Amino acid sequence: MRRLTGVVGVALGLSLVLASCGDGKSSGSGSGDGARSTVIAIAAEPLEYINPLNENGSPGIQVAMAMFAPLVTTDPNTGKLLNVMADSVTPDKNSQTWTIKLKPGNTFQNGQPLTAKDYVDSWNLTAQGSTAWKNNGFFSKIEGYDALNPETPDGATPKPTAVKALSGLKQVDDLTFTVKLKVPFSQFGLTLQYFGLAPLPEEVRKDPDAYKRKPIGNGPYKLAADWNAGDDIKLAKWDGYKQTAPDADAITFRFIPNADTAYNEFQAGTVDFVGVPSTKIKSFKDDAPDQWVTSVSSGANYLTLPAWDERFKNPKLRHAFSMAIDRKAYADLVGLAEPAKALVAPDMVGYRADACKYCDFDAAKAKQLLAEAGGFSGPVNINYSTTSATGQIFAEALGNMIRQNLGLEVKYTGKQGSEITELADTRKLDGLRFSGWGHDYPSIEDYLTPMFKSTGDANFSGYSNPKLDQVLAQGDAQPDPDAAIKLYQQAEDIALEDMPLIPLITKSDAFLHSAKIEPRVSKYVGVSALWATFK
């Protein structure tokens, strides 16, 4: 998932294979079938289905990266954009209408030719609000989106509409389609590397539920065996893939109940790649000498305040909470972390290290701001994930800072991460929670639009400010990249002033790998086990 809610201290980045926390079960053991096979441990709740258009969580996107191919991708060596399924992506002079031409000769894993119609029909299916797929919001910039998504009470699913297609999406010929946006958007070409835009073949589009556990992709790997929800996902290299493919002949994604258990499985030799959990940050180099890698995460962690709770409405109150936090002490506790004073990740062009003027620890100023805001009614509740071994520890660390530096009563509520997310999505969650974000494409816009735009598909706090929406729209419409970044920075300043999310830390991620593989490490796209080379 590009997003992580309800889980403490784990930053996200879709380019990374991450360890989040959850429940699951595995089928089979060992390190896979074949000489060039890799078992990747995912410490997360098991997948219920595989459909990239209905998935924005890290575990599902990891599987999608193996089974589906994007239109474009970021070159891990240069950071530049490379075509994959696309032969060309061309904007008009205003960056409002984009022409996408596909490479000829590609097919799905069922043999069906890959055409422009597959993209058009798949995107239209996802853009219909009544379909209720998670990546619906990704199409909100395309002309005609509003007709497919009528105004609906918060948390409810839109009813089916008479209109079934985006007016801005047109097939030109078998290999070409055009996308007309509501307004110019200079970053649109970058967005096309997101796996949530993957095409589905016709037979899947006709009956998506029938293919929830037997997906048909267009990428380098296909299902090697029947898969039931909660089991290992075993993949075999697909010979029909015509683009550059990873080295492994077989990949197994193994879901393990929690991050510490996954780590122990690596030490027992049953998996080839695992994320290092927070509990092992101090010891992993000694636990696996010469078998670890680290990379600065393309993501950030936040403390999320509920905009739907009147007690948190005053910005001065939110500033007080932020200034009551000693980020250096918290980062030291988490390990491999640095204090965050911005809403975007440090590796993004346009990042400003000290963008936040309310992120310096100052207990006296925090108390002053709290008084000016009229204080806080009742105890402060901090929600944390019970499936994280360090969830309660990190929650209590922040809670102690709020209690000591603001004089407020603090309580803690532990729940499954998925339950915290569901309660927040339906505006029923009481109190604060942890959240994280990693970009889908390398632009600071992808931090600001999803989390802070009024209609953002990862607006964790339920925040809305028309002024920020307006500035984001101006940045989107600016064809000059440098000018666009300045506008996005203005939007970040507005969000930091309103502070629906409090920046906490950015992390370096650590991973262990077996002796037979060398994970790909890139400063542009992070660490990948999928693209590991064999020794």
Tokens of 155: 């948390």
Give pLDDT, residue 24.
Answer: 31
Q: How far apart are CA 58 and CA 504, in angstroms?
A: 20
Task: For the beta carbon of residue 250, count every other beta carbon within 10 angstroms.
Answer: 18
Q: How far apart are CA 395 and CA 450, in angstroms?
A: 25
The residue written with tokens 């909100």 in the block is 140
Per-residue pLDDT tens digits for 167-206: 999 999 999 999 999 988 988 999 999 999 999 999 999 9
Give pLDDT, residue 499.
Answer: 98
Torsion of Cα atoms, 324 then 326 then 330 then 336, to 10°: 140
Confidence of residue 477 (pLDDT cuts 50, 70, 90): confident
Give pLDDT, residue 479.
Answer: 83
Per-residue pLDDT tens digits for 119-146: 999 999 999 999 999 999 889 999 999 9
263 assigned to some structural domain: no
Longest dimension (CA), the chain: 67
Q: Are residues 164 and 313 in the same domain?
A: no
199 assigned to some structural domain: yes
Give pLDDT, residue 68.
Answer: 98
DSSP category for residue 30:
S
**Rounded mean pLDDT, 408-431:** 93
Q: How far apart are CA 111 and CA 201, in angstroms?
A: 10
pLDDT at 240 over 80: yes
Q: Are residues 335 and 456 in the same domain?
A: yes
Q: Are residues 320 and 451 in the same domain?
A: yes
DSSP category for residue 201:
-
Q: What residue numbers bound the domain in which 368 lies?
A: 299-507
Q: How far is CA 431 from the centre of its chain?
A: 23
Q: Are residues 212 and 358 in the same domain?
A: no
**Rounded mean pLDDT, 94-103:** 95
- In 282-432 the beta strands, taken as DSSP E runs, fall at 292-296, 299-304, 337-339, 380-385, 410-415
Examine the fold and report which residue of 169, 187, 218 is the final residue of a domain before the chain moves on: 218
User: What residues contact 492, with CB distance under 8 A and at least 6 apart?
Assistant: 342, 343, 344, 352, 355, 444, 447, 448
73 assigned to some structural domain: yes
pLDDT at 208 over 80: yes
Per-residue pLDDT tens digits for 284-342: 999 999 999 998 777 789 999 999 999 999 999 999 999 999 999 999 999 889 999 99
Q: Are residues 214 and 314 in the same domain?
A: no
Where helices occur in 211-291 by DSSP H, the ranges are 259-268, 284-287
Output the domain CATH number for residue 493.
3.10.105.10
DSSP run (H or E) holding 233? strand 233-237
32 assigned to some structural domain: no
CB-count burial class (<10 Å; 0-12, 13-18, 19+) for 159: exposed
Q: How far is CA 168 from the centre of its chain?
A: 26
Mean pLDDT of the chain: 90
Q: Are residues 306 and 193 in the same domain?
A: no
Q: For the chain, give the percent of residues with pLDDT over 90.
A: 75
pLDDT at 426 over 70: yes
Tokens of 465: 């400010």
464 assigned to some structural domain: yes
* Residue 222: strand, helix, or coil: strand
- Sheet containing 169-173, strands listed edge to edge, beginning at the edge strand earlier in sequence: 86-91, 97-102, 176-180, 169-173
Q: How far apart are CA 450 and CA 300, in angstroms?
A: 14
Lowest mean pLDDT among 58-72, 149-163, 278-292: 149-163
Q: Are residues 311 and 198 in the same domain?
A: no
pLDDT at 23 over 80: no
Examine the fold and report which residue of 178, 200, 218 is the final residue of a domain before the chain moves on: 218
Task: For the beta carbon of residue 172, count every other beta carbon within 10 angstroms.
Answer: 13
79 assigned to some structural domain: yes
Give pLDDT, residue 2.
Answer: 40
Give pLDDT, residue 202.
Answer: 98
Per-residue pLDDT tens digits for 42-55: 988 889 999 999 98
Q: Are residues 58 and 200 in the same domain?
A: yes
Q: How far apart are CA 161 and CA 130, in angstroms?
A: 8
CB-count burial class (<10 Å; 0-12, 13-18, 19+) for 339: buried
Give pLDDT, residue 534.
Answer: 96
Give pLDDT, residue 278.
Answer: 83
**Residues forming beta bridges with residue 503, ordered by sequence position:** 302
Per-residue pLDDT tens digits for 448-469: 999 999 988 889 899 999 999 9
**Rounded mean pLDDT, 427-444:** 90
Single-letter code of the amino acid located at 217: G
Q: For the chain, give the percent of residues with pLDDT over 70.
A: 93
Q: What are phi and psi of 438, to 5 degrees?
A: -135, 140
pLDDT at 22 over 50: no
Q: Are residues 335 and 434 in the same domain?
A: yes
Confidence of residue 104 (pLDDT cuts 50, 70, 90): very high
Output the domain CATH number for residue 111.
3.90.76.10
* Residue 356: strand, helix, or coil: coil
pLDDT at 32 over 50: no
Q: Are residues 64 and 182 in the same domain?
A: yes
Domains of the chain: total: 2
245 assigned to some structural domain: no
Q: What are phi and psi of 452, to 5 degrees?
A: -125, -15
Examine the fold and report which residue of 218, 241, 275 is the final residue of a domain before the chain moves on: 218
275 assigned to some structural domain: no
Q: Is 269 left (phi over 0), alpha (psi -120 to 50) or beta?
A: left
